[in-house]
């Protein structure tokens, strides 16, 4: 049985334990910050990215975005920290930047995390399930949504979360770890130490802000960490934990992200299952909508999506679905319908019991297709900037969902678009895939299927070692590939691509390489 304990942080410290990407947490946090008027805001995030926080005040920032921290010598070694509009951390950072107060990340630097051999130990999930079961929920996330993210009364919300997390951590510590072999035990100890170093760094950052004269320090962190930050008389122990930490050189940048990448299915540790639904909760919360209004607006979006697929979805269907969802919530003892109740009502009333349309609803609405944007003058490597300028000039906006692009190569602008897409394919950034055309006798037409993925940003950064422009980078990269090739088919395939990408210097070097290889080939 979990017991709660009253814990009191110092009077200058105001803890706001949140759920990453929680719309209810974000709404309550923003209201609390406006009431508190802090003179410093510390947010969970890598401390070596503080210099690019001011960019969040730029008018062209459009979430979802991600903070990318990467090693210039190994761009594939990177850490990403996604932010949606409904992320509490994003709202706290924006508030701090707009108010002109001290605003910092205060977690362990990513330079240390990338140098470490282990990943931080994650919380014991057993205690999370125990909480859900105690509240008659089979799923912890569903319980948290009902209790926190869709909560109407936000009084003493963060005090309650702090006490809950303190009890959960106490229960987790009392649970003996399962038996493990020697190798697993060593890895577990390293992960546990890294987790302790993270919280030690957070406490040190709080003490530093207080030493600078900050009398009202707002700390925004994942709920699990909050109890460990209440007692700050551990300076000696923290200094020992943080002594002689490894480190590597890192660079930082804001990059566009997608709701699909924020969802838990992508493998992101702090992901969520339904970013599109959370976006809806945030918008309705900003409008101070009632639970019934929230359900009506959501089911209206569902009906509009179904109508676009030529499925029957009338206003009467929406009304009946809202009534069914509210009845299901009442039967389950819930104050208002959540996503499970709305989904069941949708399938019953709007989909006539058919589960197939629910897959479309999940992809397009529950997860969502939104993609963010960053200012063109924000920190980028030269190759990124060149690509971004070409995308704007050629009016090729990166979109996460597949789109069809028809090109007439007799037109200069269309021909340049084709060349850019072919060059990116050569650079192993497959933004577009060319599709065969039937019934056309000419060779002046191309049809492309385009779909931009956030991981392409990392590939562009990796390709930056080959040059500062797309043409230079692809020429140098393809030349290197040709030098490594040991057979004619590989070389002729590269030549094919170089001709389509309109890279005359590369074509000449490939012809020389083909001639040399042909001389020694049977």
Each residue's pLDDT tens digit, 335-355: 899 999 999 999 999 999 999
| Per-residue confidence (pLDDT) for residue 45, from 0 to 100 | 94
Each residue's pLDDT tens digit, 39-62: 999 999 999 999 999 999 999 999
* Under 8 Å between Cβ of 12 and 38: no
| Per-residue confidence (pLDDT) for residue 1, from 0 to 100 | 37
| Per-residue confidence (pLDDT) for residue 267, from 0 to 100 | 40
Give the chain's residues under pLDDT 70: 1-6, 76, 117, 174-178, 264-271, 439-442, 520-522
What are the beta bridge partners of residue 450? Answer: 403, 432
Say what the pTM is.
0.83
The two structure tokens encoding residue 91 = 């709202």
| Per-residue confidence (pLDDT) for residue 439, from 0 to 100 | 62
| Per-residue confidence (pLDDT) for residue 205, from 0 to 100 | 97
CA 370 – CA 65 distance, rounded (Å): 10
CA 423 – CA 417 distance, rounded (Å): 10
Rounded to the nearest 10°, the torsion over CA 78, 81, 84, 88 is: -170
Integer-rounded Cα Rg, in Å, for the chain is 27
| Per-residue confidence (pLDDT) for residue 454, from 0 to 100 | 84
Q: Residue 499 contacts by C-beta under 8 Å, 6 or more apart in sequence?
A: 507
| Per-residue confidence (pLDDT) for residue 2, from 0 to 100 | 41
**Is residue 44 helix, strand or coil?**
strand
């Amino acid at each position: 049985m979990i017991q709660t304990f009253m814990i009191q942080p110092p009077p200058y410290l105001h803890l706001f334990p949140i759920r990453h990407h929680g719309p209810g947490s974000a709404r309550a946090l923003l209201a609390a910050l406006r009431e508190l008027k802090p003179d410093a805001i510390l947010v969970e995030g890598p401390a070596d990215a503080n210099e690019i926080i001011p960019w969040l005040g730029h008018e062209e920032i459009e979430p979802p975005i991600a903070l990318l921290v990467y090693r210039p010598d190994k761009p594939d070694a990177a850490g990403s920290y996604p932010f949606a509009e409904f992320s509490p951390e994003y709202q706290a950072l924006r508030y701090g930047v707009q108010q002109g107060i001290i605003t910092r990340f205060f977690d362990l630097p990513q330079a240390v995390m990338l140098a470490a051999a282990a990943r931080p130990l994650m919380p014991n999930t057993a205690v999370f399930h125990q909480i859900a079961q105690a509240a008659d929920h089979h799923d912890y996330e569903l319980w948290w949504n009902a209790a926190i993210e869709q909560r109407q009364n936000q009084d003493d919300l963060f005090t309650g979360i702090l006490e809950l997390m303190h009890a959960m951590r106490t229960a987790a510590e009392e649970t003996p770890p399962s038996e493990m072999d020697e190798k697993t035990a060593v890895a577990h100890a390293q992960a546990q130490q890294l987790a302790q170093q993270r919280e030690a760094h957070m406490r040190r950052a709080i003490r530093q802000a207080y030493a600078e004269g900050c009398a009202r320090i707002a700390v925004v962190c994942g709920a699990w960490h909050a109890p460990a930050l209440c007692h700050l008389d551990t300076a000696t122990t923290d200094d020992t934990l943080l002594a002689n930490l490894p480190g590597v050189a890192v660079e930082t940048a804001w990059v566009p992200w997608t709701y699909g990448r924020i969802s838990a299915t992508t493998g992101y540790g702090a992901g969520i299952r339904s970013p599109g639904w959370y976006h809806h909760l945030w918008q309705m919360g900003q409008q101070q909508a009632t639970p019934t209004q929230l359900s009506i607006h959501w089911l209206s979006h569902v009906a509009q999506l179904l109508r676009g697929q030529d499925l029957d979805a009338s206003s009467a269907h929406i009304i009946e679905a809202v009534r069914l969802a509210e009845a299901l919530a009442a039967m389950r003892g819930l104050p208002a319908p959540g996503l499970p109740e709305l989904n069941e009502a949708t399938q019953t009333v709007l989909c006539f019991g058919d589960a197939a349309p629910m897959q479309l609803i999940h992809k397009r609405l529950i997860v969502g297709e939104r993609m963010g944007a960053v200012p063109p003058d924000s920190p980028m490597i030269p190759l990124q900037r060149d690509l971004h300028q070409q995308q704007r000039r050629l009016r090729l906006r990166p979109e996460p969902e597949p789109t069809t692009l028809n090109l007439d190569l007799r037109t200069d602008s269309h021909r340049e678009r084709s060349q850019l897409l072919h060059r990116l394919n050569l650079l192993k950034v497959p933004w577009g895939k060319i599709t065969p055309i039937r019934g056309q006798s000419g060779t002046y037409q191309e049809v492309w299927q385009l779909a931009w993925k956030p991981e392409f940003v990392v590939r562009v950064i990796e390709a930056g070692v080959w040059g500062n422009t797309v043409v230079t980078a692809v020429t140098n990269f393809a030349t290197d590939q040709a030098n490594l090739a040991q057979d004619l088919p590989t070389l002729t395939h590269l030549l094919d691509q170089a001709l389509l990408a309109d890279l005359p210097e590369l074509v000449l070097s490939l012809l020389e390489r083909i001639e040399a290889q042909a001389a020694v080939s049977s």
